[in-house]
Amino acid sequence: MLQVYKADSGQNKFSFKKKALGLYVQFVPLVCALAVPFSAQVQAEEATREQLLQRIAQLEKQMARMDRLEQRLNELETTAVLSDPETYVSRVEVFVDEDGVEHAAEQPGTHSVVTYQRERVYRRQTINEKIDDALSGEAASRVQVGVDAAITMQYANQQDGSDGEADGEFYQLASTDLYFTAEIAKNTIFYADIVGLSGTTPGSEIGGLTDINGYTARLRENDNQLNDLSLREAWLMTALFDEQLALTVGRIDLTSFFDSNAVANDETSQFLSDALVNNPMLGLSENGAGMAGVYDPKNGVTLKLGYQQSDSTATNLSDSLFQMVEVGYQFNPFGTGVGNYRGWYRTNNNDDGGSLSAYGFSLDQKVSAGITLFGRYGEAETLSGDDDEFFSGGVQFSDGFGFNPSDVWGLGFANTVLGNDDEETLFEGYYTLSLAERLALSFHLTYVDEEPDGADDFSYLVPGFRLQASY
Amino acid sequence: MFSHKFIVRQLLAVCIGLLATVGLSAQEIKIADPASVVVIVNRDSNDISFMDIKSHKIIGSVFLGNNVNPHMAMMSSDGRWVVTGGTRANKAYIIDVATLTLKKEIAVGFAPEHLAFSPDGRYYYQGNPDDDSVSVIDMVSLTVIKTIRGFAEPLNITFTPDGSKAYVANYGSHWVGVVDVSRHELLKKIHVGSAPAIASIDPERYLGGIKGVSNVSISNDGRYLYAADGDLGIVTVIDSREDKVIKKIPVGADPWRAFMSHDGRYAVTANNGDETISIIDLQSAEVVATLESGPEMMGINFAADKAFVISSTTGFLYVYDMKGLKSAGRIKIGEVQIETSTTDTADEKLYLASSTDNSVYVIDAKTEKVERVANVGLYPWGTHILDSKDNYCH
């Protein structure tokens, strides 16, 4: 196609170019006279076409720009915060020489110094991230409050023996724990637990060797006082030596630290009977002021040491000193599953100024993903000379062995024989139905057989339920 | 006859060509062996650093731009490219490894985070969780050739070894997306599990927020897939041949993902809900050990017959003996926040990103000796080594 390359009307000469060949053709004025009307029309059409093409290109550019702006606006409106560059303070290790000059890397004659430095970075955060950061920062500096509330209802049905006081009676207990936790320094927390109890439990009327309802264990000074508010625990804990050693000082419950068990240690979610929550040979009847140290290098071995005042009526600590030591080991025997094995030893001052000791074991062993066996044994010196003895055992099922994946159930038994030949045998089965993340309903059936020395044997069947809420 | 303009044009083209050729050849080759470097993602300095794996010196870094905030980086299998998603720039970035230059920025969906290469290196799948999409980038043309939609907060992407399928984990749902790689289409959704019926009386737990599937881990032979679901507390086993669920394994609370041991024997889940790990025997598909760990676990690395669990906010690495399946102590990195780590191909050393002190810590897996490499960039978020078996992100 021929295109107008140059029009020089002053010289009456037109030039055309054939693009592909780069050729030029010149026409003489005579020919030109005929060509003018035709060339003018072509020129006009070409100009119009060029204008249209330019307009289309311009529109396409504008459309693309609009798309980009729309995407950008969408992004800003939905996710990004229009903010200055982010600033934060970071902990920096630098190396300082004798002249006080900082170096980023260690050099001869320098020593390491930890300092703090503000960083200014281009980090764009979303509004949600900003809000979350602010809320979590505020929450971390506040006292955290938790509530653990439970209602237990039990019925005592005597099976054997002469008519007992508890036969045919219902018992209801409401228990509320208020927890307060505050981080007061790095790796140091304050914790307090205030418990309110109201109602009755079958233990006081059955008169067994152990508590049928573990909620009241180590809290009652008098079986009839069940409408009271108690400070269960109040302590300060700090972690030292790369958090391998945890020291706890204050009013403590040593059974929270010692004689633990993965599946038989919590009356709020596992067995209800105290004989399947703790080892009676520990001999702790109440909480008191004391200290516990736990050394846990996280290699499976743990070492625990502790003491507490064991009698709140004592006028000095020396007269009521309860001391305890425990060694624990976790391993996976023959690849069957994780097992925790613990052995403990304790001494306790008595009223005669002497010291009575006891020892015991606690183990829990997984035999499959959802089945865990447990056992306890303990033996304690007595003033009468003959030792008290205790053993318990059982199994817990979880992880799909119930109606719901998070349901748990278990079967356990416990046998207690005192030095004076009093004996108690207890069986308990429970099923904990996980209603919600913070709400559980448990059904319990306990059978307890008491064989007091020099008196008639008697036994009770105690069905009951527990409604537990934690938040 | 040729006009003088034509000749000038031809000469100009030749000159430009020559200049370009000379310029390219003059670009310094900074990394000759892509396997010799540790790639470090620096979220707040908006760059990708490259550290020599032997000397632990920073070779160089590639700045991506302000407010890019890269999240994860990965090297192509041939070592030619490193790619990353700029979460706050909504772009993918292609870096030429040899010259440490930014080759191209490519617009993708909202908040690009996790990514994967197809085994042949042809396609780069970039997940865009805030866009519920995956951008498919052709590594030949370096363009987005398709955006696959229909996901729910897609996080990690896992290709089968033959490259025929990709499995996309949806953290905003309880299903795994199966993508046909030949057509880049979402083929099907595999339902990993359901909330128990009794959950209807606790709607807030499931409606208040969702912790679904963050990653689909694959067995060494590519036959089985393991998808941990946070809300359901399970690991669902999927047969990749039929894309069928064959088992649901209960683990601890809120498992983040299943990390695969290098010998192919175990999968280990980091259960942030109860601060434990669950060790699953892959042969029996059963949990064989549940062990205490720390809070806010970000990742697990394997080396020297041990597992190293990163507890982010405590600055601890929890160590486990993978032969005895028991705890084996913990390593205190410092009063820092640690993020994720990669393991070298010899399974000897871990390269752990430590965000709050701008460092990478090199941990000898056997001796557990720790060496700090400082000033690698601002807020290092993750690391990557070519052909490592522990290349993962948060």
**What are the structural domain ranges in chain A?**
2-78, 86-132, 146-470
| Average pLDDT over every residue of B222-231 | 96
Is the pLDDT at A17 greater than 70? The verdict is: no
pLDDT at A223: 52
Candidate ranges A25-29, A403-407, B9-13, B217-221; pick with highest mean pLDDT: B217-221
Is the pLDDT at B21 greater than 90? The verdict is: no
Phi, psi of A457 (to 5 degrees): -70, 155
Segment 136-165 of chain B within 8 Å of chain A by CB:
none
B333-349: pLDDT as tens digits: 998 999 999 999 999 99
- Cα distance from B26 to chain A (closest Cα, Å)? 32
> A196-200, B53-57, B117-121: which range is least confident on average?
A196-200
A129-177: pLDDT as tens digits: 778 888 887 877 788 899 999 999 999 999 988 888 889 999 999 989 9
pLDDT at A78: 56
| A7 — pLDDT class (breaks 50, 70, 90) | very low
pLDDT at A455: 87
Tokens at residue B198, please? 């009794």
Residue A95's DSSP bridge partners are: A103, A112
Question: Which chain B residues are Cβ-neighbours of A93 within 8 angstroms?
Answer: 357, 374
Residue type, B101: T
pLDDT at A12: 43
CB-closest option in A123, A366, A405 to B44: A123
Question: Which chain A residues are Cβ-neighbours of B201 within 8 angstroms?
Answer: 435-436
Whether residue B330 lies within 8 A of chain A, CB to CB, comes out as yes
In CATH, what class is B64-195?
Answer: mainly beta
| Cβ separation B314–A439 shorter than 8 A | no
Report the complex ipTM. Answer: 0.80
Do A29 and A12 touch, CB atoms closer than 8 A? yes
Is the pLDDT at A304 greater than 90? The verdict is: yes
A204-217: pLDDT as tens digits: 888 889 989 888 77
| Cβ separation B325–A90 shorter than 8 A | no
Is the pLDDT at A126 greater than 60? The verdict is: yes
Q: Distance (Å, rounded) from C-alpha A274 to C-alpha A284?
A: 12
pLDDT at A222: 52
Do B44 and A120 touch, CB atoms closer than 8 A? no
CATH numeric code, A146-470: 2.40.160.10
- Other CB atoms within 10 Å distance of the CB of residue A304: 22
pLDDT at B121: 95
> A173-177, B180-184, B224-228, B320-324: which range is least confident on average?
A173-177
Strands B316-321, B326-332: pairing is antiparallel
- Of chain A, the percentage scoring pLDDT greater than 90 comes to 47
- Cα distance from B193 to chain A (closest Cα, Å)? 12
Residue B162 half-sphere exposure toward CB, CA atoms < 13 A: 9
- Other CB atoms within 10 Å distance of the CB of residue A303: 14
| Average pLDDT over every residue of B86-100 | 95
Question: Which chain B residues are Cβ-neighbours of A242 within 8 angstroms?
Answer: 332
Interface test with A, best of B45, B58, B66, B67 (most A CBs within 10 A): B67
| Cβ separation A123–B130 shorter than 8 A | no
CB-closest option in A79, A433, A436 to B202: A436
Enumerate the domain spans of chain B. 64-195
Do A77 and A92 touch, CB atoms closer than 8 A? no
A361-387: pLDDT as tens digits: 999 999 998 999 999 999 999 888 899
* B16 CB-near residues (< 8 Å, 6+ apart): none
| A225 — pLDDT class (breaks 50, 70, 90) | low
pLDDT at B11: 61
pLDDT at B86: 94
Interface test with A, best of B69, B237, B311, B331 (most A CBs within 10 A): B69
Do A251 and A234 touch, CB atoms closer than 8 A? yes
| Whole-number average pLDDT of chain B | 92
| Cβ separation A122–B46 shorter than 8 A | yes
Q: Which residue has better confidence, B263 or A41?
A: B263
| Average pLDDT over every residue of A223-244 | 83
Do A280 and A378 touch, CB atoms closer than 8 A? yes
Interface test with A, best of B202, B271, B368 (most A CBs within 10 A): B202
| Average pLDDT over every residue of B31-52 | 97
Residue B161 half-sphere exposure toward CB, CA atoms < 13 A: 9
> A93-107, B125-139, B243-257, B314-328: which range is least confident on average?
A93-107
| Cβ separation B357–A300 shorter than 8 A | no
B242-267: pLDDT as tens digits: 999 999 999 999 999 999 999 999 99
| B26 — pLDDT class (breaks 50, 70, 90) | low
Is the pLDDT at B176 greater than 90? The verdict is: yes
| A471 — pLDDT class (breaks 50, 70, 90) | confident
Interface size between A and B, measured as CB pairs under 8 A: 125
| Whole-number average pLDDT of chain A | 84
Residue type, B344: D
pTM above 0.90, yes or no: no
pLDDT at A1: 39
pLDDT at B15: 53
